[in-house]
Amino acid sequence: MPVRALLNDPDELVAEALDGFARSHPELVRASADPAYLIRADPADKVALVSGGGSGHEPLHTGFVGAGMLDVAVPGAVFASPTAYQIRAAIRAADRGRGVLLVVKNYTGDVLNFGIAAELAAEEGIETRIALVDDDLATESEDGPGRRGTAAVLAVEKICGAAAERGADLDQLAELAARITSSARTLALATAACTHPGESRPSFELAADEVEFGVGIHGEHGIGRRPYGSARELTAALADPLLESLGLTAGEEVLAIVNGLGATHGLELATVARELHEHLAGRGIRITRSLVGSYVTALDMRGCSVTLLRLDPELAELWDAPVRTPALTW
Amino acid sequence: MPVRALLNDPDELVAEALDGFARSHPELVRASADPAYLIRADPADKVALVSGGGSGHEPLHTGFVGAGMLDVAVPGAVFASPTAYQIRAAIRAADRGRGVLLVVKNYTGDVLNFGIAAELAAEEGIETRIALVDDDLATESEDGPGRRGTAAVLAVEKICGAAAERGADLDQLAELAARITSSARTLALATAACTHPGESRPSFELAADEVEFGVGIHGEHGIGRRPYGSARELTAALADPLLESLGLTAGEEVLAIVNGLGATHGLELATVARELHEHLAGRGIRITRSLVGSYVTALDMRGCSVTLLRLDPELAELWDAPVRTPALTW
Amino acid sequence: MDAFDGAEVRAWIDRFIATVLDRTGELTELDRQAGDGDYGTNLRSALGRARVNLDGTADPAAVFTAVSEAFLNTGGTSGPLFGMWFREFAKAFTEPVSDATLATAAGNAAAVVQRLGKAEVGHKTMVDAMVPAAQALRAAAERNAGPDRALREAAAAARTGAESTEQLLARRGRASYVGEHARGVMDPGALTVAMFFAAANG
Amino acid sequence: MDAFDGAEVRAWIDRFIATVLDRTGELTELDRQAGDGDYGTNLRSALGRARVNLDGTADPAAVFTAVSEAFLNTGGTSGPLFGMWFREFAKAFTEPVSDATLATAAGNAAAVVQRLGKAEVGHKTMVDAMVPAAQALRAAAERNAGPDRALREAAAAARTGAESTEQLLARRGRASYVGEHARGVMDPGALTVAMFFAAANG
Ligand SMILES: Nc1ncnc2c1ncn2[C@@H]1O[C@H](COP(=O)(O)OP(=O)(O)O)[C@@H](O)[C@H]1O
Ligand SMILES: Nc1ncnc2c1ncn2[C@@H]1O[C@H](COP(=O)(O)OP(=O)(O)O)[C@@H](O)[C@H]1O
Ligand SMILES: [Mg+2]
Ligand SMILES: [Mg+2]
Ligand SMILES: [Mg+2]
Ligand SMILES: [Mg+2]
């Protein structure tokens, strides 16, 4: 949040925004205030999908509650995991007796709280599976907590959401989620840091001629500074490691997510999308599906992430399946 | 655009973004490069709707091309009207022999160029009507160029788009557009100014304890400074003059557009939406339709606009009609 | 001479373009003092496009069509207005061009600009040069003065009209936003019109 | 005494809460030196909630359930881990609470935390106090030492475990990101566990 953010009490921000969001989409979602979660207005008889995490990443996850995607989203405080009990309540609300897929971005707090909630739910006879999303190439390393989860979570939610609507069972969904995650990688760069609510300065400062490369979605530093350059150069710098990590070769088709980190303008994102199309075309790789917009944000951070997901006909078809949520509808 | 914006040559920004945008939505739109415009991929046999204006307001107007809304959008340079010939080309491309409604925001350049294009089209036998949108209450005055056009243009495009799909003729659409515009008012405030591409400083500076009230969408100063306050206070400050100007009274229903000006976070907009619901409810006025998001932006300006449109059953029903565009689908 | 031909019209336009391109700095400076400072840039981009359009053209109507189209492809307030202004010349001009043709063209052209821009003489715009020039051409045609003399009188009238803008407060265009600051600054649009008629005379 | 009752368990928890609330500044300072400095805040919000939940409760299982639920409604890494830790006490405690009950509860509780947090003794976390305390309780129960003596031995073991973290490099949690900076800083989670067992003894 910038100085002069449009909010009341920062401690009430998440609760008030959840209320305002639900009131803005009454045909699609309902809010529960305490414990806080957002649930589909029209529950369906299928395996339920629940996701969540810290707030500040909107429209993730609340924007993706609805037919063909999530059944319930659980927002934590800004950049903090929801609590185990909050998640358990979400699981209870979501379950239709067919089990619940928990889509979890790989962060210590989320893993812990979703894991605990899953155990608590199991004790109540609710079956769950955790789909851990860890797509952020910037944090790939031998030991440590592993790659962070970022924008690929969107693909997991969309594609598994579609499969669930078609009657896939919990095991099939968990397997599908794992396949998507292993086929997807993301890299991000920031052209300006974000400012946490209540703070008066951004989490880091950049010189006019540099960008922060390999950032996550919590305002933390990336893996290094790079010279600022044209959209063409910066897009290539993001795309090449993804192509290499996924081993993508000529003739393959991908889904590309060009994601704004919060304060990035549509003209910029469309430019990056264009450069990505060009760059991949130069390697014989076609972007046959894409999502360009600010979907997984880090408050008011500037910059973008690029996610590539290797497509096969099944994934493409599930991606194309109808979806009807506040932030994604087709 | 901020310093370190994601772009190549600023002079190519609009053209490249248009290309990237079209490639990101191949199922919905096609781009013409020279003259530059964006056109529906699946033209329909009906009165056509064409809009446009300066770039930098994305997703306006390109994001609203598709079934149930615009047939063609014409982007000018950043904050500058498209040229008369560009608009004529758009009119030619859009026309299906039933005439073309030109949705024009009230700015000197747009009025001039759309007006000229309409004359040129008339010489070619293409009938047009101009729907002038002038909803910005901040610029209401006795003489001068009149109220500016801002976010109410969305309502005109959506509602007239729906009516056109149902077979309304050109005169009916022009009348409908006039009715919408006269029933809608907008006010905006900025919590930070925007930075034009190529410039290194924002168009104005605010102290930590003030906001710029009554801003437009081109980075210009507003009608005055106000003390920064809670979302509750600021929302009331935006809403009250709208209620008064429209003469809204208890029992009436409105469409509300809570619009981010570019770099405003979803949490902030949802909070403003909540406060608007509360504030209007306190006066017995119900928000029965709403749109909350960044739809009419001013590059990376922070802040929001609030638009209220007095609803009647016909307007509400047309608002609810299906729409399928890159930025608005239901 | 009773009339002049396509080659002469083309030479006129070429001289106009050359003069303006030579003086864009000066024109921009006027727009900077009482507007947004992009006038020279707008004009340069229109005239650059006009040169391409003109390539090989020597028919009077075609010459003005080429110029008109270039302006109608240009931004700013001046671009579309000049585009529609030159368009009336293209419509009226059939070879050879007589003093009557000139009077009709300039009269219609000034009228179109006034209708579109809603400016009267005295509002400190290009209209302040367009209208007196058209009146001078009409007067010259009525006494069969011939195109050369008519254009010389039009040039003088346009020049006087342009100079008259210097002491005015602007009522139209961006200059109208700066109030007293515009006083003492000649309107660049009107000056351009004066340059156009001056270029007619060899 | 062979066992103690609900009122005594409740008194133990009340003392624990009071001690911790009294020392949140100190605990936060440790987290600030080797973490993100929110430990005291996290704990305060959990314990505030616990107090509400506890209102009127004196059944041993219910007391620990109240505390567990408060922690499971709290953020941070410590919140959910303590929530699951206290939950095992709630599961095992049936009135009256014997040394065997204590050993079972603390053993299961340490195991749950280890499984969820993937920390071993020596990783500089709350586990460094939980495991020795559980071992002390097990040993005491095996020689039928009775709950009072068992808890005194557990408190000593937890205290020693907590103190041992001071010289360690952290391998889990945020403290593991700061490397050598964490050396010399006692782990606040382990210290809290020591406070818990110390509070058992009047
Ligand atoms: N309403 C009007 N009618 C006629 N001419 C006008 C009008 N407004 C502006 N002009 C002319 O346009 C010129 C400025 O053109 P230009 O710099 O291209 O426009 P802008 O103000 O959009 O930057 C002025 O010098 C004036 O002659
Ligand atoms: N993996 C882990 N296993 C057990 N305890 C841990 C682990 N990670 C951290 N802790 C404990 O949590 C404490 C910090 O808690 P807290 O400040 O609430 O968490 P956070 O680091 O999320 O801010 C540490 O002092 C440590 O005792
Ligand atoms: Mg100008
Ligand atoms: Mg200009
Ligand atoms: Mg901490
Ligand atoms: Mg923390």
Q: What per-residue confidence (pLDDT) applies to B2?
A: 65
Q: How many CB atoms sit inside 10 A of residue B249's CB?
A: 10
Q: How many CB atoms sit inside 10 A of residue B93's CB?
A: 21
DSSP C86-155: HHHHHHH--SSEEHHHHHHHHHHHHHHHHHHH---TTSSSTHHHHHHHHHHHHHHHHTT--HHHHHHHHH
B113 and B203 housed in the same domain: no
Write the CB contacts of D134 (distance below 8 Å, at least 6 apart in sequence).
D103, D106, D107, D109, D110, D154
Write the CB contacts of D179 (distance below 8 Å, at least 6 apart in sequence).
D169
- D162 has a pLDDT exceeding 90: yes
Q: What per-residue confidence (pLDDT) applies to B1?
A: 60
- Cβ distance of A112 and D74 shorter than 8 Å: no
B115 and B250 housed in the same domain: no
Evaluate the CA torsion angle A64, A66, A71, A73 in order and state its sign.
positive
A177 and A66 housed in the same domain: yes
What is the spatial distance between Cα D65 and Cα D68, in angstroms, rounded to a whole number?
A: 5
The residue to mutate among D26, D36, D84, D126, having the most atoms of ligand 2 within 8 angstroms of its beta carbon, is: D126
Minimal CA separation from A76 to chain D, in Å: 8
Distance C12 CA to ligand 3 centre (A): 26
Q: How confident is the model at residue D134 (pLDDT cuts 50, 70, 90)?
A: very high
Task: Look up residue C195 and give its amino acid.
Answer: M
For D8, the token pair is: 């005594």
Question: Domain ends where: B182, B197, B215?
Answer: B182
Burial B256-273 (b: 16+ CB within 10 A, else e): bbbbbbbbbbbbbbbbbb
What is the spatial distance between Cα B309 and Cα B305, in angstroms, rounded to a whole number?
A: 13
Q: What per-residue confidence (pLDDT) applies to B194?
A: 95
Task: Look up residue A178 and give its amino acid.
Answer: A
The model's pLDDT over C19-60, given as tens digits with 9 standing for 90+, comes to 999 999 999 999 999 888 889 999 999 999 999 999 988 899
Mean pLDDT taken over chain A = 96
Among C91, C166, C74, C90, residue whose Cα is nearest residue C128: C166
Write the CB contacts of C25 (distance below 8 Å, at least 6 apart in sequence).
C40
- For ligand 2, atom 14, the nearest C-alpha belongs to D78
- C177 has a pLDDT exceeding 80: no
Distances (CA, A) of B259 to B326, C69, C88: 17, 38, 43
B288 lies within 8 A of chain A by CB: no
Residues of B acting as catalytic residues? 57, 218
D116 lies within 8 A of chain A by CB: yes
Beta pairing class for A128-133 and A210-213: unpaired
- CATH code: domain of residue B150: 3.40.50.10440
Average pLDDT over residues B163-179: 98
B228 lies within 8 A of chain A by CB: yes
Distances (CA, A) of B191 to A3, A192, B2, B231: 8, 18, 15, 11
A138 in a structural domain: yes
Distances (CA, A) of A259 to A33, B17, C137, D32: 29, 15, 62, 34
Q: Which segment of A144-158, A195-209, B220-234, C157-171 scores lowest on mean pLDDT?
A: A195-209
A170 and A208 housed in the same domain: no
- Cβ distance of A77 and D77 shorter than 8 Å: no
What is the spatial distance between Cα D64 and Cα D95, in angstroms, rounded to a whole number?
A: 12
Q: Yes or no: say if A136 and A186 are a contact pair by the CB < 8 Å rule.
A: yes
Please indicate whether chains B and C are in contact, defined as at least 3 beta carbon pairs under 8 Å. yes
What is the spatial distance between Cα C195 and Cα C162, in angstroms, rounded to a whole number?
A: 10
Q: What per-residue confidence (pLDDT) applies to D1?
A: 57
What is the spatial distance between Cα B259 and Cα B270, in angstroms, rounded to a whole number?
A: 10
Among A266, A210, A233, residue whose Cα is nearest residue B1: A266
B4 in a structural domain: no
Distances (CA, A) of D28 to A199, C72, D68: 19, 69, 21
D172 C-beta closer than 6 A to ligand 2: yes
The model's pLDDT over A26-78, given as tens digits with 9 standing for 90+, comes to 999 999 999 999 999 999 999 999 999 999 999 999 999 999 999 999 999 99
B100 and B170 housed in the same domain: yes
Ligand 1 pocket, residues with Cβ under 6 angstroms: B 109; C 31, 35-36, 38-39, 42, 76-79, 81, 113, 117-119, 125-127, 172-174, 187-190
Write the CB contacts of C158 (distance below 8 Å, at least 6 apart in sequence).
C129, C130, C132, C133, C136, C190, C193, C194, C196, C197, C198
Q: How confident is the model at residue C1 (pLDDT cuts 50, 70, 90)?
A: low
Tally C-beta pairs within 8 A across A and D.
40
Distances (CA, A) of A131 to A105, A112, A180, A262, A322: 8, 13, 10, 25, 22
Q: How confident is the model at residue B125 (pLDDT cuts 50, 70, 90)?
A: very high
- D51 has a pLDDT exceeding 80: yes
Give the ligand with the smallest distance to the CA of B79.
4
Residues of A acting as catalytic residues? 57, 218
Please indicate whether chains D and C are in contact, defined as at least 3 beta carbon pairs under 8 Å. no
A66 and A104 housed in the same domain: yes
Find the distance separating the first CA and the last CA of chain D, reported in whole Å. 14
Average pLDDT over residues D34-42: 90
B213 and B237 housed in the same domain: yes
| D 44-83 residues inside an 8 A Cβ radius of A | 69, 72-77, 79-81, 83
A2 in a structural domain: no
ipTM: 0.93
- The burial of C134, by beta-carbon neighbours within 10 Å (0-12 exposed, 13-18 middle, 19 or more buried), is given as buried
A161 and A222 housed in the same domain: no
Give the A-side interface with D, CB within 8 Å.
Answer: 35, 76-77, 80-81, 83-86, 88, 108-109, 112-113, 115-116, 120
Task: Map A194-224 to HEC letters.
Answer: CCCCCCCCCCCCCCCCEEEECCCCCCCCCCE
- A198 has a pLDDT exceeding 80: no
D92 C-beta closer than 6 A to ligand 2: no
Indicate the residue of D72, D77, D117 with minimum beta-carbon distance to A85.
Answer: D72
Task: Look up residue C132 and give its amino acid.
Answer: P
Q: What per-residue confidence (pLDDT) applies to A2?
A: 65
What is the spatial distance between Cα D84 and Cα A8, in angstroms, rounded to a whole number?
A: 34
What is the spatial distance between Cα B199 and Cα C73, in angstroms, rounded to a whole number?
A: 26
- CATH code: domain of residue A294: 3.30.1180.20
- Cβ distance of C69 and B76 shorter than 8 Å: no
The model's pLDDT over D62-88, given as tens digits with 9 standing for 90+, comes to 999 999 999 999 988 999 999 999 999
D152 C-beta closer than 6 A to ligand 2: no
A326 in a structural domain: no
- DSSP H/E element including D134: helix D127-142
Distances (CA, A) of B7 to A51, A59, A234: 34, 24, 9
Question: Domain ends where: B127, B150, B182?
Answer: B182
The model's pLDDT over B42-76, given as tens digits with 9 standing for 90+, comes to 999 999 999 999 999 999 999 999 999 999 999 99
The model's pLDDT over C75-115, given as tens digits with 9 standing for 90+, comes to 889 999 999 999 999 999 988 899 999 999 999 999 999 99
Strand partners, B286: B253
- Cβ distance of A77 and D75 shorter than 8 Å: yes
> How many percent of chain D have pLDDT more than 90?
83
The Cβ-side half-sphere exposure at D184, using a 13 Å CA radius, reads 6
- Cβ distance of A109 and D83 shorter than 8 Å: no
- For ligand 1, atom 26, the nearest C-alpha belongs to C125
B30 in a structural domain: yes
The residue to mutate among D28, D32, D78, D177, having the most atoms of ligand 2 within 8 angstroms of its beta carbon, is: D78
Of ligand 1's atoms, which has the minimum distance to the CA of residue C39?
17
D189 lies within 8 A of chain A by CB: no
Phi, psi of A177 (to 5 degrees): -60, -40
A155 and A297 housed in the same domain: no
Which domain, by its residues, includes A236? 184-319
What is the spatial distance between Cα B17 and Cα D69, in angstroms, rounded to a whole number?
A: 52
What is the spatial distance between Cα A86 and Cα A54, in angstroms, rounded to a whole number?
A: 12
The Cβ-side half-sphere exposure at A249, using a 13 Å CA radius, reads 1
> How many percent of chain C have pLDDT more than 70?
100
Residue recorded with tokens 């019109």: C193
Q: What per-residue confidence (pLDDT) applies to A1?
A: 61
Q: What per-residue confidence (pLDDT) applies to B71?
A: 98
C28 lies within 8 A of chain B by CB: no
What is the spatial distance between Cα B226 and Cα B221, in angstroms, rounded to a whole number?
A: 13
> How many percent of chain A have pLDDT more than 90?
94
- A91 has a pLDDT exceeding 90: yes
A43 in a structural domain: yes
Minimal CA separation from B145 to chain C, in Å: 10
Among B302, B297, B141, B139, residue whose Cα is nearest residue B218: B297
A160 and A257 housed in the same domain: no
Q: Yes or no: say if A295 and A59 are a contact pair by the CB < 8 Å rule.
A: yes
Average pLDDT over residues D127-155: 97
B2 in a structural domain: no
Q: What per-residue confidence (pLDDT) applies to A200?
A: 81
Task: Count how many domains chain B has.
Answer: 2
- D130 has a pLDDT exceeding 80: yes
Domains present along chain D, CATH in parentheses: 6-201 (1.25.40.340)
Q: How confident is the model at residue B200 (pLDDT cuts 50, 70, 90)?
A: confident
Task: Look up residue A42 and give its amino acid.
Answer: D
B136 and B188 housed in the same domain: no
Beta pairing class for B184-192 and B210-213: antiparallel
Strand partners, B289: B255
Among A175, A137, A136, A138, residue whose Cα is nearest residue A159: A175
Average pLDDT over residues B166-183: 98
- Cα D12-D18-D20 angle, rounded to 5 deg: 100
- Judging contacts by C-beta atoms under 8 Å, the chain B residues touching residue C73 are 35, 83-86
What is the spatial distance between Cα D143 and Cα D161, in angstroms, rounded to a whole number?
A: 22
Average pLDDT over residues C184-195: 97
A131 in a structural domain: yes
Average pLDDT over residues B105-129: 97
- For ligand 1, atom 3, the nearest C-alpha belongs to C117
Question: Domain ends where: B136, B153, B182?
Answer: B182
- Judging contacts by C-beta atoms under 8 Å, the chain A residues touching residue D42 are none
Tally C-beta pairs within 8 A across A and B.
208
Distance A223 CA to ligand 6 centre (A): 21
Among B272, B329, B261, residue whose Cα is nearest residue B299: B261
Query: Could you give the dihedral angle defined by the CA atoms of residues C39, C42, C45 and C51, in that order, rounded to the nearest 10 degrees?
Result: -70
Test mutation, A11, A85, A110, chain D, max D CBs within 10 A: A85
Of ligand 2's atoms, which has the minimum distance to the CA of residue D173?
8
- Biggest CA–CA distance in chain C, Å, is 46
For A122, the token pair is: 């199991």
Evaluate the CA torsion angle B281, B286, B291, B296 in order and state its sign.
negative
Average pLDDT over residues A126-148: 93
DSSP B88-141: HHHHHHH--SS-EEEEEES-HHHHHHHHHHHHHHHHTT--EEEEEE--BGGG--
Average pLDDT over residues B179-184: 98
Distance C53 CA to ligand 2 centre (A): 73
B106 and B165 housed in the same domain: yes
Q: How confident is the model at residue B269 (pLDDT cuts 50, 70, 90)?
A: very high
Q: Yes or no: say if A110 and A57 are a contact pair by the CB < 8 Å rule.
A: no
